[in-house]
Structure 1
Amino acid sequence: MKIFRLILLIVHLGILFLLLGTLMNAYIPPKIFPWFNLLSLGFPVLIISYCILTIFWVASWKKRAFVFMFAGLAFINPVKRWVNFSEDKKGAPAIKVVSFNIKGGVMGQKDIEQYLKAQDADVILLQEDGGREFPVLKDYKRTAPNGYLSILTKHKILNDKIIYASDEGEGVPGGLQADIEIRGKVYKFLNVYLYPFKFEKDMVRLNGNTDDNEQKLKDVVKRLIPTFKKHQGQVDAIHTITVNSPYPVILTGDFNSVPNSYEYYHLSEGLEDAFVTAGKGSATSFHDYKFPIRIDYVFSSKPIRAVSYVVDRSVSISDHYPVISELSLTGK
């Protein structure tokens, strides 16, 4: 029994070490050391394993349980970025914002249009829009089509501009910015779509063949690491616009990155995560794989504050669920 507990202790310490590694994403960029960012993908499995082992030590009446419980406090906020139970918020009249990766409309263009029309949102931010037209949304003003990102709004668009990574030139856009006038004030909306990993289900589906699974794992890592590095350039360009904005910022989109990643830490710097502020339950927004993945977000700067945040799982018209948030512009 002592040997068994010793093995569990070593495993528990190893998991703690890996969890602490995910916190390093706030400080170390992927171009220097991408492996910390890789750890963020496994955060749900790591934290669940950590909690189970901590419960085991508590049930065993071991003093080390208190050490692991104390160390676990460092991961309260990281956990809340995945699963949260906030209180109902009361605020001044809010604007409704919808962020949705529509996958080019291939799963039902008409269904998507009708859904967006029914939401009656103030601002709609679309990723992977494929440059499609939205005739049903004729009452909305729209940014110039570019094939990747669109912002539609009932309010006045003062200007819009594609955001490219400084080291990529006119490559795949990392985001789209638009200054929108709402009730006499100007707000900068940023619609983010970081470089995709371009995985197919067969590439990540494991089978009973050990050699095949090992090769799949290597292929996945080979694709992840270069993409993390591409993200860094895109994140830097978007972050520069955010911190230098003369207007309050509302940043949404498909980060192709999970919470506690480098992308999350740096894109959210100085902003509030609407899910952490007003969300309830799971924030999982990508449902094509049978694994909890949150890659769609809504952030805002002061004095804006989230009143509500919902991942709408009532529709399956894309491989992403729409993310809907109501934001109080007064911050009360």
Structure 2
Amino acid sequence: MKIFRLILFILHLGILFLLLGTLLNAYVPPKIFPWFNLLSLGFPVLMISYIILTVFWVFSWKKRAFVFMFMGLAFINPVKRWVNYSSPKNGDSEIKVVSFNTRANSGRVEEIGAYLKSQNADVIFLQEDSGASYEFEGYQKTNPAGGFAILTRYKIISQKAIDPQDENIRVPGLQADIEINGRVYRFIDVYLHPFRFDKDMVRLNGNTDANEQKVKDVVKRLIPTFKKHQEQINFIRQSVENSPYPVILAGDFNSVPNSYEYYHLSDGLEDAFLAAGKGSATSFHDYKFPIRIDYVFSSKSLKAISYEVDRSIHISDHYPVIVKLFREGK
């Protein structure tokens, strides 16, 4: 029994250090050490394992349980980025936004158009937009750029693609300054470089050699993409930091919470899910694994009063994210 507990103790310590490694994504970029970013993909499994082992020590009446419980406090916010329960928020919505990766419209333009129209949103962020002509009375559409589009009922002051002017770096976003009720806001639609996996690439079977090769192939695709994301984020951050207006940044980051992408795109902004979300934030449903890769961030002068992942809609491999915000002060 002592040997068994020793093995579990070593395993628990190992999981703790791996979890701490995910926190280092706030400081260590993928071009220097991409493996911390890789760990962020396994955060839910690592965290569940950590909790189960902690509970085991509690029921075993071991003092080490208190140490692991104390260390677990470091992961409260990282866990809330996946699963959260916020208290009800009061206030009248000033801006309603919808962010939706339409998967190049999935051959269902009419359904997508009808859904988006029914939301009566002030601003709609689209990713993987095929340029389909959605007919919304009273809405204008920004010029699509690399699969992006922003639709709004309000006056567009200016718009531009966030273009790195480098053929090796994919356009990561679309920027539009929009006047709403006499106030101007900068809306940034984000779509980071996709991994382009299909289900067969990540589905393991009983063949050990084949599974090992699949894991190697996945890692070979993940790490270069992390590095591309780092380059794309630099250009998005310029758009955020140079904005004279409050910012609302939303889209498909192709990155999970606690990743390098999450930490650096959210820098100085607030995650609407942390402020107003309830339950799971999982937004990508094509795999049977909890994956949150769609986000809405805003300047701190804007407060989220509701956050919804609309799981009633299955017209894409992503669920739409719907957020209502209001602006504090004048």
Q: Give the shorter-chain TM-score range.
A: over 0.9
Residues 257 and 263 in structure 1, CA contact (< 8 A), matched pair in contact too: yes
Residues 313 and 321 in structure 1, CA contact (< 8 A), matched pair in contact too: yes
Q: Which residue of structure 1 aligns with residue 86 of structure 2? A: 86
Aligned-residue Cα RMSD (Å) equals 1.3
Give the match's secondary structure for 2:65. helix
Query: Within 5 A, what are the aligned runs for 1:272-291?
Result: 272-291=270-289
Following TM superposition, by how much is the alpha carbon of 1:145 offset from its aligned partner in structure 2, in angstroms?
2.0
Q: Are 1:151 and 2:150 matched, yes or no? A: yes
| Aligned residues with identical type, % of pairs | 71
Following TM superposition, by how much is the alpha carbon of 1:180 offset from its aligned partner in structure 2, in angstroms?
0.3
Structure 1, residues 60-91: CA drift from partner, whole Å, max 9, x if none? 00000000000000000000000000001012
Task: Out of 203-212 and 157-166, give the one that drifted further.
Answer: 157-166
Structure 1, residues 210-232: CA drift from partner, whole Å, max 9, x if none? 00000000000000000000000
- CA distance in 1 between partners of 2:294 and 2:319 (Å): 9
Q: Which residue of structure 1 aligns with residue 327 of structure 2? A: 329
Normalised TM-score (structure 2): 0.98
- CA distance in 1 between partners of 2:329 and 2:89 (Å): 11
Residues 101 and 252 in structure 2, CA contact (< 8 A), matched pair in contact too: yes
Give the match's secondary structure for 2:176. strand
- CA distance in 1 between partners of 2:101 and 2:17 (Å): 34
Equivalent residue letter for 1:300? S
Inter-CA distance 165–24: structure 2 relative to 1 (3 Å threshold): farther
Q: Are 1:139 and 2:141 matched, yes or no? A: no
- CA distance in 1 between partners of 2:93 and 2:306 (Å): 12
Residues 91 and 331 in structure 1, CA contact (< 8 A), matched pair in contact too: no
Normalised TM-score (structure 1): 0.97
Following TM superposition, by how much is the alpha carbon of 1:266 offset from its aligned partner in structure 2, in angstroms?
0.2
Residues 169 and 232 in structure 2, CA contact (< 8 A), matched pair in contact too: no
- CA distance in 1 between partners of 2:45 and 2:92 (Å): 39
Query: Within 5 A, what are the aligned runs for 1:57-206?
Result: 57-135=57-135, 137-165=136-164, 168-169=166-167, 171-206=169-204
Inter-CA distance 305–331: structure 2 relative to 1 (3 Å threshold): farther
- CA distance in 2 between partners of 1:14 and 1:295 (Å): 27
In structure 2, runs of 5+ residues without a counterpart are none
Give the match's secondary structure for 1:186. strand
Following TM superposition, by how much is the alpha carbon of 1:171 offset from its aligned partner in structure 2, in angstroms?
4.8
- CA distance in 1 between partners of 2:169 and 2:270 (Å): 29
- CA distance in 1 between partners of 2:329 and 2:287 (Å): 36
Following TM superposition, by how much is the alpha carbon of 1:147 offset from its aligned partner in structure 2, in angstroms?
4.3
Give the match's secondary structure for 2:118. helix
Q: Which residue of structure 1 aligns with residue 13 of structure 2? A: 13
Following TM superposition, by how much is the alpha carbon of 1:107 offset from its aligned partner in structure 2, in angstroms?
4.7
Residues 93 and 305 in structure 2, CA contact (< 8 A), matched pair in contact too: no
Equivalent residue letter for 2:142? T
- CA distance in 1 between partners of 2:130 and 2:146 (Å): 4
Residues 122 and 154 in structure 2, CA contact (< 8 A), matched pair in contact too: yes
- CA distance in 1 between partners of 2:93 and 2:261 (Å): 31
Structure 1, residues 126-174: CA drift from partner, whole Å, max 9, x if none? 0001122112x132111112341000000000111111346x3485210
Q: Are 1:52 and 2:52 matched, yes or no? A: yes
Following TM superposition, by how much is the alpha carbon of 1:102 offset from its aligned partner in structure 2, in angstroms?
0.2
Task: Out of 266-275 and 106-115, give the one that drifted further.
Answer: 106-115
Equivalent residue letter for 1:54? T
Structure 1, residues 176-225: CA drift from partner, whole Å, max 9, x if none? 11000011111000000000000010000000000000000000000000
Equivalent residue letter for 1:158? I
Give the match's secondary structure for 1:172. coil
- CA distance in 2 between partners of 1:233 and 1:171 (Å): 7
Residues 304 and 331 in structure 1, CA contact (< 8 A), matched pair in contact too: no
Q: Are 1:295 and 2:279 matched, yes or no? A: no
Give the match's secondary structure for 2:68. helix
In structure 1, runs of 5+ residues without a counterpart are none
Following TM superposition, by how much is the alpha carbon of 1:329 offset from its aligned partner in structure 2, in angstroms?
2.0
Following TM superposition, by how much is the alpha carbon of 1:106 offset from its aligned partner in structure 2, in angstroms?
1.4
Structure 1, residues 29-71: CA drift from partner, whole Å, max 9, x if none? 0001000000000000000000000000000000000000000
Q: Which residue of structure 1 aligns with residue 256 of structure 2? A: 258
- CA distance in 2 between partners of 1:4 and 1:165 (Å): 55
- CA distance in 2 between partners of 1:119 and 1:331 (Å): 27
Structure 1, residues 247-290: CA drift from partner, whole Å, max 9, x if none? 00000000000000000000000000000000000000000000
Aligned residues: 330
- CA distance in 1 between partners of 2:214 and 2:58 (Å): 38
Residues 146 and 171 in structure 2, CA contact (< 8 A), matched pair in contact too: no
- CA distance in 1 between partners of 2:329 and 2:257 (Å): 24
